[in-house]
Amino acid sequence: MKKAIITLFFLATGLSGWAQGVIDEVIWVVGDEAILRSEVEEERLRAQYEGQQIKGDPYCVIPEQLAIQKLFLHQAEIDSVEANESSVSHQVDMRINYYINQIGSKEKMEEYFRKTSSEIREEMMTTVRNQMIIQQMQSKLTENIKPTPADIRRFYNSLPADSIPMMPAQVEVQILSFEPPVPVEETERIKSRLREFTERVQNGSADFSMLARLYSEDTESAKRGGELGFVGRGQLVSEFAEVAFNLNDPKRVSRIVQTEYGYHIIQLIEKKGERINCRHILLRPRISATDKVNAIERLDSIAKAIRADSIQFEQAVIRYSEDKNTVMNSGLMINPNTGSSRFEYQDLAPEIAKQIYNMQEGDVSQPFVMMDQQKNKEVCAIVRLKKKTDIHRANLTDDFQAIKSMLEQKMSGEFIHNWILKKQKDTYVQIAPEWQGCDFEYPGWVH
């Protein structure tokens, strides 16, 4: 093993190290894996760039974190835990698109990181893949931690009174919404504009990406000339995917495609197996003030019928609502952050929060116009406050799931902590002398 360490040291420093000084060095060895000084520096700079706070000396904290990651990755290899490459690629595409959006262009991103796009992507693939493997490994290690109701009650009863957390005010909300009807004339105007764009691209008088930057109402992709980045079929709405994945000629423009977001034309950039990169131009029909007023009046009639008990809110949802995310759930909204039907006020759309703040359970709001963030378009809605829980100390009646999550998190943390302590004893670890003088979270690294 010592021979391997020395060999790796010279590979890391390179022959020029003799003339120009050491450019890198092995500072830790965990099992058969080395941790280099350069890795620590890269992690430190990345944390600094992303605004992450490192608690403690970064030259102590970061190497230990890297060492712990290697313990999990080694166990994952033994247990044949692998990352889903499609998910890895999707995450990397999202990160690269984010960087391009923030920095301004692919060329500026390459200049900033002093690497080619392919090099940046390859490094991100490794990082994201390892992150996913570690998460899966931790989940596998703790998958059997399932406290019983008796465990949860004992845990709750063991908490000092001043340690029982305060639970914020929460609400459960039902919604009924629909889009004001779009006049035929407006639809034809949009289609005519898109046909004009198509003709200009086909006859060579305009570039698709330039038109996307100027006119597309998908503001994020418009900054990139309409480019979406590599995506799988399941990441696109079905109507869009059906047309996009049937494109074969990058010089041609698709037919007009209608989706819930509006009307699109699409141009193929490249296909890679089951993934596609394309650009699009999106235009949305404009809703007139008169159409909004008519929709509000229609909703007002529905709300009055509900208050008069002529129809139940749940029945009205099934009959009138166009919100596909809630229509089969009696209009009950689901918090995407937690998967439950409970919302804190700040987790709701501002327009909804404003409506329900002073409502009582069972009340139905006045009609209002709100922005559907997912579709990025205006809809008209009414909401019903199904349940309201004021701020309070957690209790087993109202907050059983929250207390259960607290206990599961505690038990999982203790299990992982003990697992790392055990793996330290079973794993070869060598730390360069000048890197040993740290107050490590897990003191067993240095024997």
Query: How far is the C-alpha of 343 from the C-alpha of 172, rounded, in Å?
Result: 6
- Domain 23-144+411-445 part of CATH 1.20.1250.20: no
Both tokens assigned to 408: 């599961």
pLDDT at 318: 95
Segments in 238-349 forming alpha helices (H) = 238-244, 289-307, 313-320
Q: Which helix H or strand E contains 185, and what residues bound it?
A: helix 184-202
pLDDT at 30: 94
Kindly tell me if the per-residue pLDDT of 359 is higher than 90.
Answer: yes
pLDDT at 20: 38
Model-wide pTM > 0.95: no
Query: How far is the C-alpha of 46 from the C-alpha of 40, rounded, in Å?
Result: 10
pLDDT at 349: 92
Where does the pLDDT of residue 100 fall: very low under 50, low under 70, confident under 90, or very high at 90 and above?
confident
Per-residue pLDDT, averaged over 282-298, amounts to 89
Which has the closest alpha carbon to 353: 175, 216, 210? 175
Domain ranges of the chain: 23-144+411-445, 170-180+288-393, 184-283
Per-residue pLDDT, averaged over 413-421, amounts to 96
Mean pLDDT for the chain? Answer: 89
**Location of structure tokens 């760039």:** 49
Which residues, in sequence order, are bridge partners of residue 381? 177, 368
Domains 23-144+411-445 and 170-180+288-393 belong to one CATH topology? no
CATH class of 184-283: alpha beta
| Chain centroid, CA 268 distance in Å | 26
CB 327 within 8 A of CB 321: yes
Query: How far is the C-alpha of 65 from the C-alpha of 284, rounded, in Å?
Result: 48
pLDDT at 96: 86
Q: Could you count the other beta carbons within 10 Å of the beta carbon of residue 220?
A: 12
Kindly tell me if the per-residue pLDDT of 375 is higher than 90.
Answer: no
DSSP letters for 22-74? -S--EEEEETTEEEEHHHHHHHHHHHHHTTPPP-S-HHHHHHHHHHHHHHHHH
Query: How far is the C-alpha of 353 from the C-alpha of 365, rounded, in Å?
Result: 11
Kindly tell me if the per-residue pLDDT of 290 is higher than 90.
Answer: no
CATH class of 170-180+288-393: alpha beta
**Location of structure tokens 């994020």:** 220
Q: Could you count the other beta carbons within 10 Å of the beta carbon of residue 123?
A: 14
What torsion do the CA atoms of 248, 253, 255, 259 make, to the nearest 10 degrees?
90
Kindly tell me if the per-residue pLDDT of 9 is higher than 60.
Answer: no
